[in-house]
Each structure stands twice: as structure tokens, then as C-alpha cells.
């Protein structure tokens, strides 16, 4: 039911998705939604954001592993993964959390806090890999922040332009920014010897 | 009426805004909306996107002028202007077009095309100033694309975090990227002499 709701939120937003539609999408009996989600739509919204948070953080770690901890390559792979998903969906499935955030802030403080939590965790995951690669905390935090902003924005531009180009550009440009922020190989070696 | 609709779309999205609410917000008589907007809500949506397009392009040119055509400073001023507006609204007024795009793509092809047009024009305005500063067409296009993506995403993160920080980071980081892409002063002089 949460997965069905996430798919619908991705495509048409939180406000545009009715509980009956969620139940129909996943083929569950009508009454079951209030059995599982006594808090109604807001509770289902929280579960969708939570599901997305886990998925996004997991994706960051998977990209870091695939990039053998090269942070510039990690960002390229992350953008590529989002671009592939977007293209496969025919440019209709974006991020369910951005739409929920835009629709429900300030109407629901509960959903705002949950959306903020997702963005903080996503940035935290990126930040950890940047620091591991030798970036200072300050540089890592700034780069994590602009990476998430740029990817979220590119997911919007990708849908309106029916193209993966905006996401690819974010991958390339962020990769340059990360590379420019990395300590030189010699200072990295010194750091490793000191550790 | 269009300005009232824009304010409501910014705060609660296209789907969350009813025509009656728009009429109440601007104090017009109830029947007047169908008199002015025979196409109903979609037509009003198009007018809001058009209003936003003019405002955004105008803002880019104003920032370029204020930055005395320094493209790195222009990007900082642009991010600062959006941050100021966001803060003044108490973090409730974002971009009405991103919400409309996320809610109505793919439901309305008409609105998708209009949202895409806005993003293209916004990028075009930035791109023009980048080229004028000596960047190649390719670099200018890529930088315009990631600037718009990053600002749109930061407008979301700013609302959920109740902070202007995401927009300020975009200003600083994009400014570095633009500066790194500028031709060196000596090659710029050669270009000017050749022209």
C-alpha cells in the first residue's frame, strides 16, 4: 500500500492522490487503509516519505560503493541512476517528497518535518562519503547541500523537458565541483600516513 | 486575479487552490473568473506561469545589471533575491511553477509545455549573460541548466528547513563554478581586441 501510494505521489502529488485510488492501485480491500493507517492520509504520507528516505540513503551508499569511494564518480552515478528511473517511467515518476513538501508546507507541520528529515539524511549520507574522501566538514556539507538541491531541481526540469539532460548536467557539473574541492594527492597521502 | 492565483499556487500548489478561493483572495465577484478565464483553471494556470516567466527573466537581467555584468556575482545576487523573498514570506511562498509542474505532468500537456517554456527562457536569460562574459556556448548552457536546477531544488529545501541556507549555498557554489569556467583575463583581452 505504501509503495502504491509512493508511485501515485510521484506521478500526481500528495493532494492529487485519493486514499480510494491508493487502495485500488494495490488491489487491497477498501476498508483496509483505515485499518492500517488510522491517521489517514497524513500517516500514509509519512510512510511514503520514510520509504523514500531509506531508498535514497541506500542509493547513495550503493553509488559510493560502485564508484569505489571516488566521490566525484559517486555523484555522476547518483545522477545517472535518477535519470534512468525517470526515463524508464516515461518522465512521469519524479520525487514524491518534493511534491509533498511543496504542497503541504506550511499546511502540515508533521509532513514538513518529515520532508526536512529526508533531505537532512540524504545530505548526511553524501557528506559522510565526501569527508571520507578527504574533504573538510564545511566543504562536504556545502557540496552535499547543493548536490541534493540540484538533483531535486533537475528532477523537475527533466519532467517538463521530457529529457534526462538536466540530470546529466548536474552529474557532470557537481563532479567538477567535487574534484576541485578534493585535497591534492600529496596532501591526501600525508593525511593517510598521519592517521 | 492572476497575482492572487500565483500567491496561492506558491503556498499550496495548483491542485490545492480552488477557483473560488482565488476570487475570494482578490475580492472580485464570483462570476468574474469565468468571464475572464473561459478556459477555467488551466487557463488561469497558464497566466500564472506566464507572469512568473516574465518576473524571473526580468530578475535575471536586474541581477546582471546590479552585478555590473560579472556573471559570478549575478548568480550570487539571484540566489540572494530568492532567499530574501522566501524569508520575507515566512518560508511559505516558493516557486508556483515547480509545484504546478510536479502536480500536472503528465496530466496536462498544456501546462507541461508552459512550465518547460519558463525553464527554457530562464536558462536562456542566464546563458546570454554567461556568453557575454566570455563563456563558450556549451559551458554557458550547462551552467545555466545547473543554476536553474539548483535554485529550484534549493527553494524546496529552504521551505522544509525553514532556512535560507540552501539558497545561499547555491549562490556561493555556482559562483565558484562560473568563475572557474571564465576565460583567463589575458584571453578575454585577446577576444575583445579581435572583436
Residue-wise pLDDT tens digits, A148-169: 999 999 999 999 999 999 999 9
* Mean local confidence (pLDDT), B26-52: 86
Instruction: Give the model's confidence band at B72: pLDDT under 50 very low, under 70 low, under 90 confident, else very high.
Output: very high
Least confident span in A117-126, B89-98, B169-178: B89-98
Look at residue B42 in the predicted model and tell me its pLDDT: 92
Cβ atoms B67, B58 nearer than 8 A: no
Q: How far apart are CA B91 and CA B60, in angstroms?
A: 22
Residue B47 confidence (pLDDT) above 60: yes
Average pLDDT, chain A: 91
| Closest residue in A to B149 (Cα–Cα) | A153
Residue-wise pLDDT tens digits, A1-57: 899 999 999 888 899 898 888 988 888 887 787 788 888 889 999 999 999 999 999
Q: How far apart are CA A60 and CA B1, in angstroms?
A: 44
Residue-wise pLDDT tens digits, A59-117: 999 999 999 989 999 999 999 999 999 999 999 988 889 999 999 988 999 999 999 99
Query: Using the beta-carbon criterion (under 8 Å), do B101 and A180 form an inter-chain contact?
Result: no
| Of B180, B118, B110, nearest in space to B151 by CA | B118
Q: How many CB atoms lie within 10 A of CB A99?
A: 29
Q: How far apart are CA A180 and CA A173, in angstroms?
A: 11
Residues of B in contact with A174 (CB under 8 A): 146
Global pTM?
0.92
Of A16, A103, A150, the CB nearest to B150: A150
Residue B188 confidence (pLDDT) above 70: no
Look at residue A195 in the predicted model and tell me its pLDDT: 47
Look at residue A35 in the predicted model and tell me its pLDDT: 81
* Mean local confidence (pLDDT), B62-85: 97
Cα–Cα distances (Å) from B28 to A73, A137, B23, B31, B191, in that order, read 55, 53, 5, 8, 56
CATH topology of domain B42-194: Tetracycline Repressor; domain 2 (1.10.357)
Look at residue B76 in the predicted model and tell me its pLDDT: 98
How many residues comprise chain A? 195
Q: Does domain A46-194 have CATH number 3.90.700.10?
A: no
Percent of chain B with pLDDT over 70: 94
Domain extent listing, chain A: 46-194
Helix (H) or strand (E) holding B3: helix B2-12
Look at residue A192 in the predicted model and tell me its pLDDT: 53
Residues of B in contact with A160 (CB under 8 A): 101, 105, 112, 115-116, 119
Look at residue A194 in the predicted model and tell me its pLDDT: 54
Residue B164 confidence (pLDDT) above 50: yes
Percent of chain B with pLDDT over 90: 71
Look at residue A34 in the predicted model and tell me its pLDDT: 77
What is the nearest CA distance from B194 to chain A, expressed in angstroms? 30
Query: Using the beta-carbon criterion (under 8 Å), do A169 and B145 form an inter-chain contact?
Result: yes
Least confident span in A139-143, A168-172, B118-122, B187-191: B187-191
Look at residue B195 in the predicted model and tell me its pLDDT: 47
Instruction: Reply yes or no: is the peptide bond before residue B67 cis, omega within 30 of 0.
Output: no
Average pLDDT, chain B: 91
Helix (H) or strand (E) holding B104: helix B96-104
Residues of B in contact with A98 (CB under 8 A): 98, 102, 153, 156
Q: Residue B144 burial (CB < 10 Å; 0-12/13-18/19+)?
A: buried
Amino acid at each position: 500500500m505504501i509503495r502504491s501510494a509512493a508511485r501515485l505521489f510521484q506521478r500526481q502529488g500528495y493532494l492529487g492522490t485519493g486514499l480510494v485510488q491508493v487502495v485500488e492501485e494495490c488491489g487491497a480491500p477498501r476498508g483496509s487503509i483505515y485499518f492500517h493507517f488510522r491517521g489517514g492520509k497524513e500517516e500514509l504520507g509519512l510512510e511514503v516519505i520514510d520509504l523514500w528516505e531509506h531508498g535514497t540513503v541506500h542509493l547513495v551508499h550503493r553509488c559510493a560503493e560502485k564508484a569505489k569511494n571516488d566521490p566525484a564518480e559517486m555523484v555522476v552515478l547518483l545522477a545517472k541512476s535518477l535519470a534512468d528511473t525517470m526515463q524508464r517511467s516515461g518522465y512521469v515518476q519524479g520525487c514524491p517528497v518534493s511534491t509533498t513538501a511543496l504542497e503541504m508546507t506550511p499546511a502540515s507541520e508533521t509532513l514538513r518535518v518529515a520532508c526536512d528529515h529526508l533531505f537532512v539524511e540524504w545530505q548526511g549520507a553524501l557528506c559522510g562519503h565526501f569527508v571520507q574522501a578527504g574533504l573538510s566538514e564545511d566543504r562536504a556539507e556545502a557540496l552535499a547541500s547543493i548536490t541534493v538541491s540540484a538533483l531535486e531541481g533537475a528532477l523537475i526540469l527533466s519532467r517538463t523537458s521530457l529529457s534526462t539532460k538536466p540530470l546529466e548536467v548536474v552529474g557532470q557539473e557537481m563532479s567538477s565541483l567535487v574534484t576541485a574541492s578534493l585535497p591534492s594527492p600529496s596532501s591526501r597521502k600525508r593525511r593517510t600516513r598521519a592517521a
